[in-house]
A and B are shown apart, each in its own frame.
Chain A
Amino acid sequence: MINKKNSLIIFIVLIVGILFTSSVMAQETVELEMWHAWTGQDAFASEVLLPKIEEFQKQNPNIKLKIQVIPNDSYRTKLRTQAAGGQIPDIMQTYPGSEVQPLVEAGLLMDLEGIIDYWTDDLIPRDSLSAYTFNDKVYAIPAKVNYTHFAFYNKDMLKEVGYTVWPETYKEFKVMADKLKAKNIVPISLGNKAKWVLQSIYISTIGDRLTGIDYLEDVLAGERKFTDPAFIKALDVIKELADEGYFNKDANSLNDMEMRQAFYQKRAAIFFGGAWDIGGVIETAKEENMNVGIATFPQIEGEVAPKALSGVTGSAFSIRSGLSEAQKEAAIKFLKFFYSEETYVDLLRTGSFVPAKVDLPADISPQFQEVINLVNEHQIGPVYDAVLPINLIQTINNGLQSLTTGEMTSEELAQQMQDNL
């Protein structure tokens, strides 16, 4: 029979029991809140990064990761709103350059100097961390290198106008494009609605080649200017591509899926994309029996850095500053597990480039091997939106649209960028 007294005793025993076990548990279990933007559509995430996170949780039952996946488009909005409210997660994906910089400047991130030797320089060259290095301190470790510029071309369509190989020079390229136009084929499929395409994919590589790969840093340091003739010349190339009608007419209202669709539907002979497109193109080409070649922009007269190829490191995690010792330890354990040699090798298998010095696995596809050979012929140059401050990214993104619609000249855009600096 349970009377009042008995139930009170049971109650007290229960409470003490719960408090006891939970305090013991608290000592053992560390909880970390983690945000990332890998929703699982891209092979590198679904086949490597996400399984890695799962594996870590299995191996470390006393480290509890509370994971929030936020799609890339909304990630910034969420992070910035919560940061404005004074709250950021313990481990979070951060984007290179000017994106992560304000978090660093506000002291929200822990610098990784104490542990960076674990990676540098045997696995990751210190240079590869530059997009996440501020005042000589590293704040994140990247998993990938995203080259932002490749030309994908339909070999059969080029053959139709007499080209069995990709043109060597820009001049030749224009002759070829004119021939394609004469045959009523759109030379280049472009979808620049989201505004970053002309900037990340086009001007980054074209600009790096004409101005040299140190140009942007020099401009930001005040040593050179955006009104430099070399930069104006780079803008002129894009303007010329638009003015000559080499792009589809509705380029500014298509998204990048529609851009690829036009290429697959053989409405256009070429499209420029990033390393992220390689896997999809190879696969679709196989299914559709398309003969696709991969190259980079042909040589332009007056190049300072020939064979520059814009690329930036990405898929990086940072750790919040002000974690408890136990949390810090757990977070570092995660980083060491996540950014391992094995991860980088697996990423290569999915057709991703990595910032680490690892041996190529023997079983990568021959197509990807070809692209690797292509990349090896090039030197890496900066991507504009990974280096420029945010207001200038907005200026150039919008400005390139204006350039192609004829609302602005190259000189005007260059001047505007200089003014906004």
Chain B
Amino acid sequence: MEHIYKHKKKIIYLGILPAFLLYLGFVIIPIFISARYSLVEWNGFSPPSFVGLENYAEMFGNNIFWRSLKNNMVVVLASVLGQVPIGFLLALLVNQKIKGRHFFRTIIFMPVVISAVIISLVWSMVYNYNFGLLNNILSFVGLESWVQNWLSNPDIAMFSVAAVIIWQFVGLYFIIFLAALQTVPDEILEAAKIDGAQGWKRTLYITIPLVKDSILAAIVLCISGSLKTFALIYVMTNGGPSHATEVMAIHMYDNTFNGMKFGYGSAVSIFIVVFGIVLVTIVRKLFAKFEN
């Protein structure tokens, strides 16, 4: 078998080439240019001046940057621990032959496509301190003490925002898992049923190992997506109050385009990429270990 493959190496490389070139030209080269900017001080208008690693030094000495990193980790954890299991559960549920599965499949995906503007407006109202749905429900069931200033209290605002992010992107993992579940032949599930492997056991021992590649893919996507998260928080809280919900991408955007510090902003971009590589590598190593 192997020798056939070897003969046609050329075809393999040729097949990958178009994707490789486009990706190189419009993702890799720009981020390398950005890496170069991270070594200069530049307001975007006047000529840049070389400052070496000063932007990185400034970044690591900046409390707000560290806070944005911490906030970002809240999003990463909430997403990995929230979106992946919920997405998987929902995919399992609608993969059954139940009534209305068409409808559910569509509606579960919807938040992914709704504009961040609308999501932010609606959830701000749910979280509203005075007449928001959430506080109303809490009061109604007698949990007044749980009533919170969900978005204005800097101690909890990040968690309130993270909850919305979970909700918004569950649909994305949902369809990835739904697709993956189609590779599990019905016969296997049926056979397990006859053998008496019931419910969650069947899921745990048979289904999950069969779709483990997709689960790893989902986790990696989750981490990378969370590290870049921007739009929803930007419109929902603008990173406030007082940096309480500022994540790295907002820190970068704010410094680049509002603060006109292109060098500093680029340094943050580069950090996001490097930090992401580290996280993803750790997860993949853990996963490989787990498999053995």
Are A and B in contact, CB atoms below 8 Å, in the complex? yes
Report yes or no: B129 in contact with A398, Cβ–Cβ below 8 A. no
* Given A83-B44, A252-B241, 8 new contacts (CB under 8 A): A80-B257, A194-B238, A250-B128, A252-B240, A253-B124, A390-B258, A398-B243, A402-B241
**Cα-based distance from A97 to B240 in the complex (angstroms):** 25
Report yes or no: A102 in contact with B242, Cβ–Cβ below 8 A. no
Contacts of B108 in A (CB 8 A): none
Assuming A394-B258, A401-B240, is B45 touching A102 (CB within 8 A)?
yes
Report yes or no: A83 in contact with B45, Cβ–Cβ below 8 A. yes
Give which listed residue, B45, B129, B237, contacts A106 with CB less than 8 A: B45
Cβ of B139 within 8 Å of any chain A Cβ, yes or no, is no
Assuming A76-B258, A394-B254, is B45 touching A407 (CB within 8 A)?
no
Residue of A whose beta carbon sits closest to that of B245: A253
Give which listed residue, A194, A253, A267, contacts B127 with CB less than 8 A: A253
Cβ of A357 within 8 Å of any chain B Cβ, yes or no, is no
By DSSP majority rule, is chain A's interface helix, strand, loop, or mixed? helix
Residue of A whose beta carbon sits closest to that of B46: A106
Against B, the Cβ 8 Å flags (1 = close, 0 = not) of A253-273 are 110001000000001000000
Report yes or no: A105 in contact with B260, Cβ–Cβ below 8 A. no
Query: What are 15 inter-chain pairs, A to B, with CB distance below 8 A?
Result: A80-B44, A80-B260, A83-B44, A84-B44, A84-B45, A193-B238, A195-B238, A249-B130, A249-B152, A252-B240, A254-B124, A398-B242, A404-B241, A405-B152, A408-B242
Report yes or no: A258 in contact with B154, Cβ–Cβ below 8 A. no
Cβ of A77 within 8 Å of any chain B Cβ, yes or no, is yes
Within 8 A of B (CB), among A189-233: 192-195
**Cα-based distance from A67 to B46 in the complex (angstroms):** 26
Q: Please give the distance in Å from B46's CB to the nearest CB on chain A.
A: 4
Cβ of B52 within 8 Å of any chain A Cβ, yes or no, is no
Against B, the Cβ 8 Å flags (1 = close, 0 = not) of A156-170 are 000000000000000
Against A, the Cβ 8 Å flags (1 = close, 0 = not) of B237-265 are 11011111000000000100111101000
Contacts of A192 in B (CB 8 A): 240-241
Within 8 A of B (CB), among A44-98: 76-77, 80-81, 83-84
Cβ of B95 within 8 Å of any chain A Cβ, yes or no, is no
Report yes or no: B44 in contact with A251, Cβ–Cβ below 8 A. no
Assuming A391-B259, A402-B242, A405-B241, is B152 touching A251 (CB within 8 A)?
yes
Cβ of A116 within 8 Å of any chain B Cβ, yes or no, is no
Contacts of B151 in A (CB 8 A): 250, 252-253
**Cα-based distance from A390 to B43 in the complex (angstroms):** 11
Report yes or no: B129 in contact with A248, Cβ–Cβ below 8 A. yes
Report yes or no: B45 in contact with A108, Cβ–Cβ below 8 A. yes
Report yes or no: A405 in contact with B258, Cβ–Cβ below 8 A. no
Assuming A248-B130, A267-B130, is B157 touching A102 (CB within 8 A)?
no
Cβ of B49 within 8 Å of any chain A Cβ, yes or no, is no
Chain A interface residues toward B at CB < 8 A: 76-77, 80-81, 83-84, 102-103, 105-106, 108, 192-195, 248-254, 258, 267, 390-391, 394, 398-399, 401-402, 404-405, 407-408
Against A, the Cβ 8 Å flags (1 = close, 0 = not) of B147-170 are 001111110010000000000000
Report yes or no: B241 in contact with A103, Cβ–Cβ below 8 A. no
Residue of A whose beta carbon sits closest to that of B261: A391
**Cα-based distance from A289 to B21 in the complex (angstroms):** 65
Q: Please give the distance in Å from B282's CB to the nearest CB on chain A.
A: 33
Residue of B whose beta carbon sits closest to that of A254: B124
Contacts of A405 in B (CB 8 A): 152-154, 241-242, 244
Give which listed residue, B130, B242, B260, contacts A390 with CB less than 8 A: B260
Assuming A105-B45, A193-B237, A390-B258, is B129 touching A249 (CB within 8 A)?
yes
By DSSP majority rule, is chain B's interface helix, strand, loop, or mixed? loop
Q: Chain B interface: which size bin?
A: 20 to 34
Q: Please give the distance in Å from B74's CB to the nearest CB on chain A.
A: 17
**Cα-based distance from A105 to B44 in the complex (angstroms):** 12
Residue of B whose beta carbon sits closest to that of A251: B152
**Cα-based distance from A83 to B260 in the complex (angstroms):** 11
Give which listed residue, A80, A102, A108, A252, contacts B152 with CB less than 8 A: A252
Contacts of B257 in A (CB 8 A): 76-77, 80-81
Q: Please give the distance in Å from A336's CB to the nearest CB on chain B.
A: 27
Contacts of B243 in A (CB 8 A): 398
Contacts of B157 in A (CB 8 A): 253
Q: Please give the distance in Å from B173's CB to the nearest CB on chain A.
A: 28
**Cα-based distance from A108 to B135 in the complex (angstroms):** 53
Contacts of B242 in A (CB 8 A): 252, 398-399, 401-402, 405, 407-408
Q: Please give the distance in Å from B184's CB to the nearest CB on chain A.
A: 44
Contacts of B238 in A (CB 8 A): 193-195
**Cα-based distance from A110 to B275 in the complex (angstroms):** 44
Contacts of A402 in B (CB 8 A): 241-242
Report yes or no: B154 in contact with A407, Cβ–Cβ below 8 A. yes
**Cα-based distance from A398 to B68 in the complex (angstroms):** 14
Report yes or no: B254 in contact with A102, Cβ–Cβ below 8 A. no
Report yes or no: B45 in contact with A394, Cβ–Cβ below 8 A. no
Residue of B whose beta carbon sits closest to that of A408: B242
**Cα-based distance from A258 to B120 in the complex (angstroms):** 13
Q: Please give the distance in Å from B73's CB to the nearest CB on chain A.
A: 20
Contacts of A251 in B (CB 8 A): 152
**Cα-based distance from A399 to B151 in the complex (angstroms):** 17
**Cα-based distance from A195 to B254 in the complex (angstroms):** 13
Q: Please give the distance in Å from B135's CB to the nearest CB on chain A.
A: 10
Residue of A whose beta carbon sits closest to that of B254: A394
Residue of A whose beta carbon sits closest to that of B43: A102
**Cα-based distance from A407 to B237 in the complex (angstroms):** 17
* Max chain A Cβ within 10 angstroms of own Cβ: one of B151, B153, B154, B240: B240
Q: Which 7 A-B pairs have the closest CB atoms?
A: A253-B151, A252-B241, A106-B45, A402-B242, A250-B129, A84-B44, A401-B242
Assuming A108-B45, A253-B157, is B124 touching A258 (CB within 8 A)?
yes
Residue of B whose beta carbon sits closest to that of A404: B241
